[in-house]
Amino acid sequence: MVRQHKIIFDPIPFKGGSKIATSEILALCDKQSTRFTVMTVDANFWQESELAKQQSVNIVRLYSLPWLSRQVHGLAFWLNQAYFAIMLLLCLMFRRQTHGFIAASGPGIDMPVYLVNLLFNKPIIQLIHGNVAASAAIGWCLTRAHKVFYLPSTKQSLKLALARYLDKRYHITDNEYVSETCLNSDRFASFVNGISAANWPTQSQTSEGKFLWAASLLKWKGLERYITAVRLAQRHHPIKSNICYIEPKNIQLGISKAPVSLPLTNWFHDPYNFDQLRSDCSVFVSTSENEPFGLSILEALAAGMCVVIPQDGSYWDQTLVHGKNCMKYTAKDESALYKTLLFLQLNPNERRAMQRHASHVAKRYCAEHCYQHIVESVSCAATTLSNDSSSLHNVKKSL
């Protein structure tokens, strides 16, 4: 059997939950049958990643053009895609045989893989960790991928992108039906994130109420909301907390300021000992808006923490039960959040009960089970694709 050589493309210059999840997924692949080359602008992350710990990985550093990388539409966006496509092409010219690509950041970011693959015609496995834009170009990518694995919360955005492409390419009027049919084909499969036994978090302390906020500084992660809620709560009772943050680079999205003055709070920028800092706390607070999944929430549950989440219809809001294995507050409401923090601080027995139940929930999210189908697809010797998805042509013929 030929050992499969897969190319991972990663143009994102900072660490995030999707990148961590991708590393953990690929680390589960059989090292005897699969090897990887990572082409990335963030070589430091991959050198320390779970994938590098478990497998022999060749890391190729790509260089971005900061201003160009921040562009999200128009001519400058396409110039950035062309630039990375040329970089990929040059790198691939000096690689040994390539059996396929892993696009792990979403079609809008992974576009260079699809452009280069017009020449190579190799299988592309697309991982989708967040909503995609309703773009015909993204819809085209979805029809070119050999396999698409997506979080359930992103399904509607995939339908819209496919519908936009179908309308532009084939002028199909009932494109919602066709896009739904495409998503129900074998090429598309949903998944949820998991944690491997080797990376199961250290168990949290239960003796005192101490809070943890951990995310990137992207505005939609809601750091200001947490800071405001802590200040309101501290008017009534001391609130201790750790804030761990990652600072995004080369993006146009809004960024929160950190650190700022906040009593009884320790600030940590991308700490190497995050697991230890998390275990020193007992409550994890999420202020993200409509989180597609929330790997950090799962990790907090696995650590036996009481998690505090917004009532916004996101994955964990639909999965967890208020007062049993979590505490929920009205989304975007600092007053509701501060009252929740204060309740947990003043009611340690209720908090500890929720911590115990949280651990039970996390046991259902074993990485070896959650990622099984993705690992099988990455490891298999898949055949190359024709110019368009056969499933799309079959649907079109039936209309």
Q: What is the mean pLDDT of residues 279-305?
A: 96
Q: Which pLDDT belongs to residue 334?
A: 96
What pTM was estimated for this model as a whole? 0.88
User: What region does 308 belong to: left with phi over 0, alpha with psi -120 to 50, or beta?
Assistant: beta
Residues 199-225 pLDDT 10s? 999 999 999 999 999 999 999 999 999
Which residue's structure tokens are 């505005």?
A: 219
Which residues share a beta bridge with 266? 242
Residue 227 tokens read as: 């800071």
CA distance 82 to 210: 48
- AA letter at 298: L
> Cα 43 vs. chain centroid, distance in angstroms?
18
Say what the pLDDT of residue 207 is: 93
Label residue 365 by pLDDT band (50, 70, 90). Answer: very high
Tokens (6 digits) for 325: 């294995």
Distance, CA of 189 to CA of 393 (rounded, Å): 19
Taking only the tens place, the pLDDT of each residue in 319-356 is 999 999 999 999 999 999 999 999 999 999 999 999 99
Task: Tell me the residue length of the chain.
Answer: 399
pLDDT at 147 over 90: yes
Which of 124-128, 177-181, 270-274, 381-385 is predicted least confidently?
A: 381-385
Q: How far apart are CA 87 and CA 4, in angstroms?
A: 22
Q: Which of 37, 42, 151, 194 is nearest to 102 (CA)?
A: 37
Question: CA-CA distances (angstroms) from residue 359 to 201, 202, 268, 300?
Answer: 11, 12, 25, 9
Q: Are 346 and 237 in contact (CB under 8 A)?
A: yes
Structure tokens at 60: 């190729």
pLDDT at 152 exceeding the cut of 60: yes
Q: Tens of pLDDT along 40-82?
A: 999 999 999 999 998 889 999 999 888 877 777 889 889 999 9
What per-residue confidence (pLDDT) applies to 288?
A: 95
Q: How confident is the model at residue 256 (pLDDT cuts 50, 70, 90)?
A: very high
Sheet holding 100-103, edge to edge: 57-61, 34-40, 4-10, 100-103, 124-128, 147-150, 188-190
The percentage of the chain sitting over the pLDDT mark of 70, rounded to a whole number, equals 93
Specify whether the CB–CB gap between 297 and 307 falls below 8 A.
yes
pLDDT at position 236 is 96
Is the pLDDT at 154 greater than 80, yes or no?
Answer: yes
CA 93 → CA 20, 87, 227, distances in Å? 28, 10, 50
Backbone angles phi, psi at 273, to 5 degrees: -105, 40
- Comparing 365 with 182, which gets the higher pLDDT? 365
pLDDT above 70: residue 396:
no
Q: Each residue of 366-382: pLDDT tens digit?
A: 999 999 999 999 988 65
DSSP-derived secondary structure letter, 290: S
Checking if the pLDDT of 385 tops 60, the result is no
pLDDT for 386: 43
